[in-house]
Structure 1
């Protein structure tokens, strides 16, 4: 790899991470070395690309324009390198943003064959239940649940999973098992990220819809913890099947009102870069779609 190409890649990483130190860790360089390389690039171009401060660096207007122009070039070079190798081997770094629960339950178990096939590819899992900004956080692939808003990103559907209402056997022994959606108003309800801010749940059976108002003593901002709370006997939770599949199979949770549907959750992969999407991002998305079909049937 030429020094010029390495310098441009380093510039892009500093721009996306907002840190000489973070970019250095990703590329195996010290912070002083990264700072020196970027300073030399600025001298060569005759413009200041970054505004430095004690805690971070940010792009100047010239730096933003430069980044916009070079990132598609870097992606095209990576695509060309991938093509001429002819082996299908992926290299470089892939940053995947995903909800922590989905990563723990589905992505990480599916990673071994993907990483074994591409030993020179480095994968960063950036996990949070909050919505991630692909540009600011330099995410190559973001896993998103639910409807997608308008976006310039490329979307690939990974699958869909039904929503289910579940509770632990110990809770049901104490509180009783609801027979109709309306019975849930007399139960302790746990609200997770997808339910916070909503006033009710809607159920459908044979074309008939029942909507109930839900109130909760316990609201949790992390989806995985809602499943943990339900297993602990704290109440009833509405979540995706993928979020509690293991517990249902183990018997630590029981599905309630199985004859009623409460909707589905679509799962998509958003790929940054438009037509300049990284080969590794496309390969990862394809791998995850196939893995989800094998593991869950959805």
Structure 2
């Protein structure tokens, strides 16, 4: 019991691998988006994730759901929080925030220390939001595949601020702010956009500065390569890629078999170990887009989370902070 408590505290404090010979960290925790329980789940480290017998026995050290969040009733979470599809952590002004989206239309920024929702909006289920990014000024970029756009919301102006700038992007699935350049990168079906943020926090603007065709169709996940700062993981329907913005070039990533590289919903690496974590549909559950396992590579391994319908899983480690 004491060990489990210590592991939970470590995960919430975002522990990183220890370097001392005697002090060995269990590794980074994992965050998963579970559509079965409609929760964002922070789980124990990959070393301690085994085949648990059902969702009530998962090693959860922290969780969040719009269904249980106070102050969100006006956004009808019973509808807007259906099929949650993103969970990321960011640091702003010394505080850790969860960024969560759901296909039902909800986008939320949550203070992980208090559970308080700092900002939230319902963009509608037809838009199908898939990811979000928190900017240093408190504004929030959102991409939506059904809507076919990237929007920059003036979230700094209030907990329900809806004013925004928008740029069309068919099949928009991924977004990330490049701290080195200040540009927003946004991933669509066929292209990767680089956008400059302008205007003011209350009236932001977006300007496309570069449009890069993808090596193949179906862009889905966009995430930083933490072991190689400045580069990005990009997943498409059939392949995985590493993208270098400075050279504007994609390099194929191979994980052993073509099946391991196909239809990946999320990908990320754990610094210190080099392990890669992916989530991809296993086509054994009630939905074609979800899975009940997370997969590790280099070294390889599978962690079964029975009873879950996972969409994405990410390392819940050192957060991306203000530049």
What's the TM-score, normalizing by structure 2? 0.21
What's the TM-score, normalizing by structure 1? 0.23
Larger radius of gyration: 1
Larger helix fraction of residues:
1
Q: Answer 1 or 2: higher relative contact order, Cα 8 Å, separation at least 6.
A: 1
Larger strand fraction of residues:
2
